[in-house]
Structure 1
Amino acid sequence: MHARKAELERQFEAGRAQFDQAQEKIKARTGRNLILAILIGVVFGGALLLSLLVLKELFMVFAVVVAAFASSELVQALRKGGIRVPIVPTVISAVAAVPAAYYLGAGGQLLAVLAGILLVTLWGLVAAAASVDARGSGRSLLLDVAAGAFVQGYVTFLATFAVVLTAADGGQWWTLAFIITAVAADTGAYAFGLMFGKHPMAPVISPKKTWEGFAGAAATSVLAGILLSTFMLQEPWWFGLVFGIAILASATVGDLVESLIKRDLGIKDMSSWLPGHGGFLDRLDSILPSAAVAFVAFSLFG
């Protein structure tokens, strides 16, 4: 029994050492803690499913939290690049746009975003005029104002497409479908890139993205699109093919755009609020533009 126990302990230690080595290789290749990232992803996904499938109004709460954190971390990231966007009106506008989009639809969404841009702009101009250490540069002030409008357009406007979509009759299934398809694209890109990645896709923007990863993303997103279209959305298989390709395109563009923003600002992650993932925007980069694509698809076919 002692010999058996010692053998089991030896096998356990050997297995743990191999697992730790694999973890270190994955972390060195991707810069992420895979296990922690999976755990946070499961919690995040569980909260999303609860909000979509149990009570749609809960999705507003989910969206408010995401919009608040995402807009806040983008403002803080811009400040690292010397761009000053007022955080208080930015977060207030992002949060207020969620119920406006849910209860008033696309019209309320657009009005809320425009009102948010106006609020952030006026707040920034007043703060700049009252600041003792005002830059005095019209070009710098214009950059700050433009960045404030960009945050509203990039985070608030794109995110609230998912809110408008979910509020529609049966729209929660379309929201779930496009998120699953976008996540499938991300997962396929990650897995295929990790196993087979050799040829950089956009080395100047994101050196770790490869064409092999893109091929994996294409395969998984198209497969997910066809399956979800057939069994969840009650649409023909060809629609799922088109839907998967459209989400693949929007997810890839969104991923590259966020990588370009981070590269210009000289940062690796938008924040460290989600260990193993980075920040909220690091997880939403492919989902934000995909929400707009899914809304258009629902408007045409839903």
Structure 2
Amino acid sequence: MSGGGRREEIRAHLDSTRAQLEATRAQLEATNARIEKKAGRNLFLAIGVGLLLAGVFLGSLLFFDGILFVWFIALLVGVAVVELATAFRVAGRRVPRIGVVVSGLSMVAAAYFYGAEGLLLSLFAASALLTIWRVVEGLAARTPVEPKTLIRDIFSGLFTLVYVPFLGSFAVLLLAVPNGQWWVFALVLVAVSVDIGAYAAGVTLGKHKMTPRISPNKTWEGFAGAAVAAMVAGVGITVAALDQPWWVGLIFGALVLLTATGGDLTESLIKRDLNVKDMSNWIPGHGGLLDRLDSLLPSTVVAYGLALALGVLS
């Protein structure tokens, strides 16, 4: 074969390979687009960011006797309250961002140093501080603020305090119980399993809408997948790491299934009320921080309550 014929053959082979690669890429993009349309997020990007967040979580939890985890919670609370306060402000409800950050971090510190009693007292103190803060802001404003608007703003701020730092601080309380690092790990594992189970079953099998007006992507098939994942993860981690019988794992899984799903739907209601798709776009593939914490926040309370009921705290 002549040199020219050989070059033509190589060129034809390269063109064929390039065409195959283009077809494969187009197929992958089409598949990802179908998954994203059905599940509401970019799967591959979400997995990558999720693994990074998981690494940070595990590193903060397992090293330096958990103190890094407390700082991690404080960071999450600080960012999340700013995120929610900003969303409220975009919707016309003025929530003092500095006020909720100071109050939220104070609640995390109170939970760490003074336990459940300190957390409760700090919630009352933070509520009073935020109320006074907003009233002073309203009185000092150049344009008079109507009492109805002021009351709405105050209640939005109080909701922010309860929803993010108060619920989130239960993770700090849970860390303080005997074997607390494993309790926190178990909580996150089961909550993440609920999310993964719902996502996988919803994408592959989902047909029957669960709450179309609140969260259009949720299906009953997804909920069933979440239930199976929660029970398996709950029993496995409870027996392996928490030194509790298998039936406690079933209870753990069922409780987190309900709170995680309820937390997700609650945040969807908040976003619908504020007319936003995501709380922010800070986390690629996941939306805002609260879009990732919505299932964990209420679940921290039931995990702490279960530990309390089992006598782990005594």
TM class, shorter-length: over 0.9
The residue that corresponds to 2:235 in the other structure is 226
Aligned residues: 301
Are the counterparts in 1 of residues 167 and 297 from structure 2 also a CA contact under 8 Å? yes
Q: Is 2:70–2:172's contact at 8 Å kept on the other side of the alignment?
A: yes
What SS is found at the alignment partner of 2:126? helix
Q: How do residues 159-198 of structure 1 correspond to structure 2 at under 5 angstroms?
A: 159-198=168-207
8 Å contact kept, 1:201–1:211: yes
Q: Does 1:111 align with 2:96?
A: no
Q: Which whole-Å CA distance do the structure 2 matches of 1:10 and 1:245 have between them?
A: 50
Between the aligned partners of 2:309 and 2:225, the Cα distance in structure 1 is 28
Q: 1:129 aligns with which of 139, 160, 168?
A: 139
Question: Quick one: distance in 1 between partners of 2:29 and 2:213?
Answer: 31
1:203 corresponds to which residue?
212
Contact 2:111/2:169 (CA < 8 Å) preserved in 1?
yes
Question: Is residue 40–residue 217 contact of structure 2 (8 Å, CA) maintained in 1?
Answer: no
What is the rounded CA distance, in whole Å, between the counterparts of 2:308 and 2:145 in structure 1?
A: 46
The residue identity in structure 2 corresponding to 1:162 is: A
How far residue 77 of structure 1 moved from its aligned partner, in angstroms, is: 0.8
Query: Is residue 265 from structure 1 mapped to residue 274 from structure 2 by the alignment?
Result: yes
TM norm structure 1:
0.95
Contact 2:139-2:145 at 8 Å conserved across structures? no
CA contact (8 A) 1:83 1:144 kept: yes
Deviates more, 1:263-272 or 1:161-170: 161-170
Task: For residue 169 of structure 1, report the CA deviation from its aligned partner.
Answer: 2.7
* CA contact 2:82–2:100 (8 Å) conserved in 1: yes
The corresponding residue for 2:249 is 240
Q: Deviations over 1:232-253 (max 9, x none)?
A: 1111111101110000010011
Larger mean Cα displacement after TM superposition, 266-275 or 27-36: 27-36
Question: Is the CA contact 2:260–2:294 (under 8 Å) kept in the aligned structure 1?
Answer: yes
Please list every run of 5 or more consecutive structure 1 residues that lacks an aligned counterpart in the other structure.
none
Q: Judge which range, 157-166 or 98-107, deviates more.
A: 98-107
Report the CA distance between 1:10 and its aligned residue. Answer: 4.2
Structure 1 residue 168: deviation in Å?
2.6
Q: Which residue of 2 aligns with 1:24?
A: 33
Deviations 1:217-274 (Å, cap 9, x if unpaired)?
A: 1110111101011111111111101110000010011011110010111110011111
Identical columns (%): 46
> Which of 258, 264, 278 is the equivalent residue of 1:255?
264
| Structure 1 equivalent of residue 288 of structure 2 | 279
Determine which structure has more spread, i.e. the larger CA radius of gyration. 2
Q: 8 Å contact 1:103–1:167 — kept in the other structure? A: no
Determine the structure 1 residue equivalent to 2:5: none
Corresponding residue number in structure 1 for 2:70: 60
Secondary structure of 1:134 counterpart:
coil
TM-score, normalising length: structure 2: 0.92
Distance of 2:144 and 2:287 partners within structure 1: 32
Q: Mean alpha-carbon deviation: is it higher for 149-158 or for 21-30?
A: 21-30
1:13 corresponds to which letter in structure 2? E
- Separation (CA, whole Å) in 1 of partners of 2:154 and 2:167: 19
How far the C-alpha of 1:102 sits from its partner, in A, is 1.3
Counterparts of 1:8-23 in structure 2 under 5 Å? 8-23=17-32
1:78 pairs with one of 77, 88, 104: 88
SS in 1 for 2:217: strand
